[in-house]
Amino acid sequence: MKNGGNMNKRDLKAKRIVIKIGTSSLLYPNTSRLNLRAIERLAFVLSDLKNQGKEVVLVSSGAIGVGMGRLGLNRRPETIPAQQAVASVGQGELLGIYEREFQHYGKSVAQMLLTRDVLVYPQSKKNVFNAFQELLQMNVIPIVNENDTVSVDELDHKTKFGDNDQLSAIVANLIDADLLIMLSDIDGFYSGNPMSNPSAELYHTVTSIDASIIQAAGGRGTKFGTGGMVTKLKAAKRILKNHQQMVLANGKNPRIIYNILAGEPVGTLFAPKEVVTKEGLA
C-alpha cells in the first residue's frame, strides 16, 4: 500500500533510534571532498537527541569515498583488495572527524565495524547485541560501518552485508530500535525518478513492498557509494517484516531529523499497515 496524498502528522514515539547517513550526504556532489558543515550539523543534532534522553546509533557510509579523497583517486577502485585498502584509509579519517565533532558537545563515540558472518552465529550475534546495550547504557553513540577491510562475498564464506542500507536495517532489527531514519540525497520514495519525471509523486506512507515496487526503483547511487533506491527499499522491507518503522528523507541538512521526530510529514514513512491504521498515520 502506498499513500501519496494524506499528510497527517505522525506520532512515531521513538526513543531508540538508528540513523543511517549515506555517502552522498557526507561528500560534496560529484567529489570525494568531505562536507564538514554537514558532519558538524549531524553531530549537533545527535548530541541534542542524547541530551533529550534518546538512545542513538549512527550507521555511517563514506569510508571509501573519504579514502578516495585522501589518496587523490577520481574513480572508485574496481578490485576488492584496492577497495579494502581505500576503505581502511578512509575509515580512520572519517572516525577521527566524528570524534572531534562530537567532543564539541561532550559526547563520546565508539566505532563498531561489523561483518555479516558475525550476526549469523548466535553467540557472536549475542556479543554484538551486548556491546550495543552497554554502549547505550554508557551514554555513548555507536558509529557503525561495514568492515570493508575484511568483508568479501565469496562462494563459501559470505561476510558482506552488501550495503549500509541493509546494515542499518539489520542493526535496527538487532537492537529492537523504535525507528530507523535513513538520510539520503532524495526527498523520499517516488512513483518514478523525479529527476527525469517531473510528475513523479512523493509517497507519504508505504506499508508493503513487492517485487514490482523494487523493480521500478532504479539502479545504484553515485560512484562514491554503493546505494540506490533498490537497496533502501530492501532495507525497508526488512524493517516492515520486523514490524518496525523507517523514514527515508533528504539528509542535505541533518536538522531534518528534528522535523521527523516532531511528526512532520517529511520524507516517506515505511510502517506496517496495522501501525498506520492504529496511529492514523496515513
What pTM was computed for the model?
A: 0.88
So what's the pLDDT on residue 254?
95
Contacts of 149 (CB under 8 A, 6+ apart): 84, 85, 87, 88, 91, 113
Q: Which residue has the cell 539489520?
A: 170
> Starting from the edge strand earliest in sequence, which strands make up the sheet with 268-270, in order?
2-3, 205-206, 268-270, 246-250, 179-184, 16-21, 55-60, 141-146, 109-114
Instruction: Assign residue 90 the CATH number of its domain.
Output: 3.40.1160.10
Domain count, the chain: 1
Burial of 101 (0-12, 13-18, 19+ CB in 10 A): buried
Q: Binding residue per annotation — 92?
A: no
Q: Is the pLDDT of residue 59 over 60?
A: yes
Q: Binding residue per annotation — 164?
A: yes
Q: Binding residue per annotation — 168?
A: no
Q: Binding residue per annotation — 226?
A: yes
**How would DSSP label each residue in 76-110?**
---SHHHHHHHHHHHHHHHHHHHHHHHHTTT--EE
Q: Is the pLDDT of residue 152 over 80?
A: no
Q: Binding residue per annotation — 148?
A: yes
Q: Binding residue per annotation — 185?
A: yes
Q: Find the mean pLDDT for residues 99-118.
A: 92
* Helix ranges restricted to H, the chain: 23-26, 36-51, 63-71, 80-103, 122-137, 164-174, 211-215, 229-241, 256-261, 273-279
* Domain span holding position 249: 2-279
Q: Binding residue per annotation — 231?
A: yes
Q: Which stretch, 26-35, 128-137, 160-169, 208-217, has highest mean pLDDT?
A: 128-137
Determine the longest span between alpha carbons in the chain, in angstroms: 52
So what's the pLDDT on residue 223?
39
Q: In this predicted model, which residue has the larger pLDDT, 13 or 42? A: 42
> What whole-number distance in Å separates Cα of residue 212 and Cα of residue 228?
16
Q: Binding residue per annotation — 273?
A: no
Q: Find the mean pLDDT for residues 78-92.
A: 88
Q: Binding residue per annotation — 192?
A: no
Q: Binding residue per annotation — 250?
A: no
Q: Binding residue per annotation — 11?
A: no
| CB of 140 closer than 8 Å to CB of 131 | no
Half-sphere exposure of 147 (CA within 13 A, CB side): 14
C-alpha cell, 183: 538520510
Q: Is the pLDDT of residue 92 over 60?
A: yes
Model confidence at 116, pLDDT cuts 50, 70, 90, reads: confident
Give me the residues paired with residue 2 across strands: 206
Q: Binding residue per annotation — 5?
A: no
The single-letter code of the amino acid at 211 is: A
| CB of 34 closer than 8 Å to CB of 64 | no
Q: State in Å, rounded, how far the first CA of the chain is from the last one.
A: 10
Average pLDDT over all residues of the chain:
85
